[in-house]
């Protein structure tokens, strides 16, 4: 079987028995559920869950599992003239979704912000012609199902199809990344921010944490590095990791003012310059 952890949704490599525990959930940034380590399989998920598909704007579709499963994040299909990119991932890959995505042209590359969303990335790749998966090498130790379709990249920037670029921010994970989609004639550009720049319920703001479930913040220097990493890029919208968590305007300014507020809070005074 290929066990899937019910707390984070990551799929492990083929084995006779389930692992003793999920390495991603035993890490301080996650947790083992109240009832102890639990496992499922993709076949069982297909019986119990479905995929909610929502068109966010022309060329951008979000996908998430219903009812909520694992961490509860959404993934995005981003269409480009050079092929479609799946940004982040969910554990369920079902026939209805495969057919929907094929009608939009399939998937030519998969990029995932950080290990909490690695989920069943190999299944997604296999469903779409062994699409290449691009992951930052600094998080390679967190891949629980290695495969030849995974390509690790190094450094700060990876250009993907159609003008899309993945930018390493670090913070939440050493290799945590965001995806930038440059503006078109009609738009100013969008940032897909994963967990390292988290859109919060007050959608004029974002936040930055080493662990969200365990409330462990980041230090000032790391927050400044995250903000500086996205500074060269123009973006108005920020599509956060969770369903409906989208900053719809002034995204870049919202990152700046959110960082200023955060740095004031952790410094304990109101004079910390960004």
Q: Which residues bind to Zn ion, rule: CB under 5 A?
A: 5, 7-8, 22, 24-25, 116, 195
Q: Least distance to Zn ion from the beta carbon of 8, Å?
A: 3
- Torsion on CA atoms 132, 17, 173, 232, rounded to nearest 10: 20
Note the helical H segments in the chain: 23-26, 42-48, 95-103, 121-127, 220-230, 251-267
Q: How far is the CB of 91 from Zn ion (least distance, A)?
A: 10
Within 8 A by CB and 6+ apart from 175, the residues are: 114, 135, 136, 137, 138, 139, 140, 168
Q: How far is the CB of 131 from Zn ion (least distance, A)?
A: 23
State which residue, 5 or 166, has the beta carbon closest to Zn ion.
5
> Nearer to Zn ion by C-beta: 24 or 85?
24
Residue among 150, 168, 270, 266 nearest 226 (CA)? 168
In what order do the strands lie in the sheet containing 109-111? 50-57, 60-66, 74-78, 85-87, 109-111, 132-136, 150-153
CB of 171 to Zn ion, least distance (A): 10
Q: Which of 7, 258 has the CB closer to Zn ion?
A: 7
Query: Measuring CA to CA, which residue among 240, 242, 239, 223 is closest to residue 231?
Result: 223
CB nearer Zn ion, residue 101 or residue 241: 241
Nearer to Zn ion, 61 or 196 (CB): 196
Residues 6+ apart with CB under 8 A from 3: 11, 12, 15, 18, 19, 39, 40, 41
Whether 255 contacts 232, CB under 8 Å: no
Our CB check for Zn ion shows the closer of 26 and 96 to be: 26
Q: Return d(Cα 212, Cα 29) in angstroms, integer.
A: 7
Q: Cβ of residue 2: shortest distance to Zn ion, in angstroms?
A: 14
Name which of 101 and 255 has its Cβ closer to Zn ion: 255
Q: How far is the CB of 72 from Zn ion (least distance, A)?
A: 11
Q: Say which residues have a Cβ less than 8 Å from residue 48's Cβ, sequence separation at least 6.
A: none
C-alpha span between 111 and 165 (Å, rounded): 10
Q: How far is the CB of 71 from Zn ion (least distance, A)?
A: 7
CB closer to Zn ion out of 25 and 101: 25
Distance of closest approach, residue 99 Cβ to Zn ion, in angstroms:
29
């Amino acid at each position: 079987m290929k066990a899937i952890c019910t707390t984070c949704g990551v799929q492990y490599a083929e084995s006779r028995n389930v692992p003793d525990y999920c390495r991603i959930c035993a890490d301080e940034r996650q947790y083992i559920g109240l009832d102890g380590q639990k496992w499922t399989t993709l076949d069982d998920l297909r019986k119990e869950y479905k995929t909610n598909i929502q068109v966010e704007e022309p060329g951008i579709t979000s996908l998430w599992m219903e009812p909520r499963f694992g961490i509860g994040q959404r993934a995005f299909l981003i269409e480009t003239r050079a092929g479609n990119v799946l940004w982040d991932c969910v554990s369920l890959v079902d026939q209805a979704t495969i057919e929907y995505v094929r009608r939009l042209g399939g998937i030519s590359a998969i990029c995932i912000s950080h290990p909490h969303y690695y989920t069943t990335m190999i299944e997604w790749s296999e469903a779409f012609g062994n699409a290449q998966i691009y992951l930052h090498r600094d998080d390679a130790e967190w891949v629980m199902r290695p495969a030849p379709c995974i390509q690790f990249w190094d450094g700060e920037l990876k250009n993907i199809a159609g003008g899309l670029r993945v930018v390493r921010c670090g913070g939440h994970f050493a290799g945590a990344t965001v995806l930038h989609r440059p503006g078109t004639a009609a738009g100013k550009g969008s940032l897909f921010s994963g967990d390292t720049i988290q859109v919060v319920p007050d959608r004029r703001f974002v936040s930055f944490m080493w662990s969200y479930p365990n409330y462990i913040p980041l230090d000032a220097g790391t927050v400044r590095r995250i903000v500086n990493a996205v500074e060269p890029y123009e973006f108005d919208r920020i599509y956060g990791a969770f369903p409906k968590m989208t900053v719809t305007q002034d995204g870049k300014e919202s990152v700046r003012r959110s960082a200023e507020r955060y740095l004031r809070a952790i410094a304990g005074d109101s004079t910390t310059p960004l």
